[in-house]
Amino acid sequence: MKTRGLLATLAALLGLVVLVFVLGGLPQAGTGPSPASPATTSSPVAGSPTARTAAPTTAPRAPGVANPSGLPEIKASALPSEARRVLVLIARGGPYPYARDNAVFSNFERILPRKSSGYYREFTVPTPGESDRGARRIVTGAGGEKYYTADHYNSFKFIAEGK
């Protein structure tokens, strides 16, 4: 049993290392480029052999998808910086730092509009200070809609992108 706990801890640490690698070097909220400015090339990070291109901290401006749910809305620009980074990863098609990212979300809670199995996908939004995946997620629908939950599916907000 101790081995299983140790393996879970190591897996969580590996996920964190991958996340830091994927998102490392990105500007913090409020200090990076404006949403309309392109990604910039950062100078080499200490210990890094080469410079890398920093990803924008907000999702690319997308045509607005109408809110099909009737749920409250949150502007993409009002999301935590970690969630905005996940929106960028989703727009790029990955890579995703967690094994459960891009997995089918089954909507067991029935808060989101009912759709056929496989319609929704979920993505982890890292929570600073958490040693595991935390409670925050973005759930996407096959129709382009995106939802944010900060409380592990107890409530959702429709993400109004491009705002």
The band of 66, judged by pLDDT with boundaries at 50, 70 and 90, is confident
> Under a CB-based contact definition with an 8 Å cutoff, are residues 74 and 90 in contact?
no
> Under a CB-based contact definition with an 8 Å cutoff, are residues 116 and 122 in contact?
no
- pLDDT at 8 (0 to 100): 55
In this predicted model, what pLDDT tens digit does every residue of 33-62 receive, in sequence order?
A: 333 333 333 333 333 333 333 334 444 444
- pLDDT at 20 (0 to 100): 40
- pLDDT at 106 (0 to 100): 95
145 belongs to the catalytic site: no
Domain of 36, CATH number, reads 3.10.450.30
Task: List, in sequence order, the alpha helices (H) in the chain.
Answer: 2-23, 81-92
Smallest CA-to-CA distance from 20 within 98, 91, 102, 80 is with 98
Which residue range(s) make up the domain with 48?
2-160
In this predicted model, what pLDDT tens digit does every residue of 85-143 receive, in sequence order?
A: 999 999 999 999 999 999 999 999 999 999 999 999 999 999 998 889 899 999 999 99
Determine the average pLDDT of the residues in 61-85: 87
Please enumerate in sequence order all residues whose Cβ is within 8 A of that of 145, keeping only pairs 6 or more positions apart, or say none.
65, 67, 68, 69, 158, 159
- pLDDT at 3 (0 to 100): 53
Determine the average pLDDT of the residues in 152-163: 92
Compare 43 and 16 and report the one with higher pLDDT.
16
Q: Which two tokens stand for residue 99?
A: 């094994």
Counted residue by residue, the chain has a size of 163
Catalytic-labelled residue, pool 82, 145, 152, 161: 152
Neighbours of 109 (CB within 10 A): 13
- Domain count for the chain, please give it: 1
152 belongs to the catalytic site: yes
- pTM (two decimals): 0.62
Catalytic-labelled residue, pool 73, 82, 109, 122: 122
The band of 5, judged by pLDDT with boundaries at 50, 70 and 90, is low
The band of 18, judged by pLDDT with boundaries at 50, 70 and 90, is very low
- pLDDT at 9 (0 to 100): 55
Determine the average pLDDT of the residues in 150-161: 96
Could you give the CA distance from residue 125 to residue 132 in angstroms, rounded to a whole number?
11
Q: Which two tokens stand for residue 59?
A: 């999702």
